[in-house]
Structure 1
Amino acid sequence: MKQLIFTALISVLMPSCSSGNNETQTDDTVNPPQSNFFYGADLSYVNEMEDCGASYKDASGTTKDPFVIFKEAGANLVRVRLWHNPTWTNYSNFDDVKLTIQRAKQQGMKVLLDFHYSDTWADPSKQEIPAAWLDDIDNTPALGTLLYDYTYDTLNALANLNLLPDIVQVGNEINPMILQHGDLVWPIDWSRNSFLLNKGIQAIRDISAEKNKDIGVMLHIAQPENALWWFEQATQNGVTDFDWIGVSYYPIWSTYDLSNVGTALNTLITTYNKDLMVVETAYPFTLTDAD
């Protein structure tokens, strides 16, 4: 049985746009992470926030590089999202992602690169194909080549900068079929979906072999209850060459609460013999406060 591995958001990062004095707070003791356990956070917004004038402070109110704050708090993994050609923003493109990976590696942290395969957010409500690929949306072989080449070329460019990630997500919250346009099509066309996902996986495997770098492949689904049916269908349709099950877990939207979510996660681990990481989550730090 594989070790259950979570990535947890460490609640010490406090962006601030002011330089006023702060009352000193008592810093919590940080226990070093287990060697086989990832503690991390998605720091995709940091470059943009700093460009907007934000500063980051640790629990004692000391202004620091946010990557240093997370490192000192025990983080050993940084997640970063990548959009294909986000013309509506100057961030989460290749140059921005390159900087984030560089900053994470400077602090000795590992990197999880999240390919959205979209020019904007991809999630269970939308999997919008990059505009540059739209003409080939109904040509699955051609679309597979575009996806493979983009994944391979991106990773190769990072390799040339000594910035290869340690884990790569093939899509973000890919509950629906990937690379769609407009309203989502259900049910999933697995002949198309498995072909495209396997093209992304193959690009990662090829770079990994060529660069002699161990890169984990992750498939990411929103909510444990959806991961249960999705991975059953995916593996039955030939999507089997992956290392990580990635899960978004938001209790407010899930049929599992904090008391029983471990049962679903353990089922995923034991059924597919894969490592598992909760890559997105949000939950209250206390259930006893007045609000």
Structure 2
Amino acid sequence: WITQLEDSGYELYNDWGHRQHVLSILRDHGMNAVRLRVWVNPSDGYYSSLDDVIVKAQWAKDANMDVMIDFHYSDTWADPGNQWKPAAWQQLSFEDLMGQVWSYTRDSLNTLKAAGITPKWIQVGNETNNGMLWNEGMASSNMRNYAWLFNSGRNAAKEVFPDAKVIVHLANCHDNANFRWILD
């Protein structure tokens, strides 16, 4: 939300009362990494888009912070109760959807790479407790489809950044049963 806050006129100040960039303040307080969400086509047209993420990732790089890229594969928030496909992907067959996840992930990461950004972590999906890209990727209906969609993103990530760690992101870390169901 950094770019949105700044564009709204917010100014942040360090412990000494001097205006300072938020990532510098956070770095000075021990933060060493950022997690940046990517939406396919955000409703406002910019915030959380790939272009917005590149700006924030460059700021993080300049602050000597590691970067995690968090692909939501949605036009808005993806969470345990909302894993809806981007509007532009609604009519795709499952085969085409897998291809779209792969190409979108690959193309986005290549764009980051061209901008000089090397993520340490790449998160394929956000809070995927019941899969992603519903209805086709709803894990409770078809775990295999969810796995194939996840692996499409994972394979693209490893193609572009072989050394990056690929993240499965589940919400509610206290829910051992859900973790075992998804991961086992």
Q: How far did residue 233 of structure 1 move?
A: 2.9
CA contact (8 A) 1:177 1:188 kept: no
Unaligned ranges ≥5, structure 1: 1-44, 237-291
Structure 2 partner of 1:288? none
173, 176, 180: which one pairs with 2:127? 173
Structure 2 partner of 1:105? 61
Deviations 1:44-66 (A, max 9, x none): x0111111100011234322111
1:1-291 correspondence runs (5 A): 45-136=1-92, 139-180=93-134, 187-209=140-162, 214-226=163-175, 228-236=176-184
| Alpha-carbon distance in 2 for matches of 1:84, 1:54 | 26
| Alpha-carbon distance in 2 for matches of 1:194, 1:232 | 14
| Alpha-carbon distance in 1 for matches of 2:107, 2:170 | 25
Deviations 1:73-126 (A, max 9, x none): 111101111100113342110111000000000011000111010000000110
- Matched to 2:115, the amino acid is L
- Matched to 1:189, the amino acid is N
- Matched to 1:131, the amino acid is A
Q: Across the two proteins, how many residue pairs are aligned to each other?
A: 183
Larger Cα-atom Rg? 1
| Alpha-carbon distance in 1 for matches of 2:84, 2:170 | 16
SS in 1 for 2:91: helix
Deviations 1:12-31 (A, max 9, x none): xxxxxxxxxxxxxxxxxxxx
- Matched to 1:149, the amino acid is S
CA contact (8 A) 1:194 1:234 kept: no
SS in 1 for 2:111: helix
TM-score (normalizing by structure 1): 0.60
Identity %: 34
Deviations 1:121-145 (A, max 9, x none): 0001100101111001xx3221110
| Alpha-carbon distance in 1 for matches of 2:138, 2:156 | 26
Q: How far did residue 205 of structure 1 move?
A: 1.0
| Alpha-carbon distance in 2 for matches of 1:62, 1:199 | 46
Residue 185 to residue 194, structure 1, CA distance change in 2 (3 Å) = closer
- Matched to 1:79, the amino acid is R
Q: How far did residue 225 of structure 1 move?
A: 3.0
- Matched to 1:141, the amino acid is E
| Alpha-carbon distance in 2 for matches of 1:235, 1:67 | 34
| Alpha-carbon distance in 2 for matches of 1:207, 1:231 | 28
Higher strand share: 1
- Matched to 1:170, the amino acid is V
RMSD between superposed Cα atoms in Å: 1.7
| Alpha-carbon distance in 2 for matches of 1:174, 1:91 | 22
SS in 2 for 1:47: helix
Unaligned ranges ≥5, structure 2: none
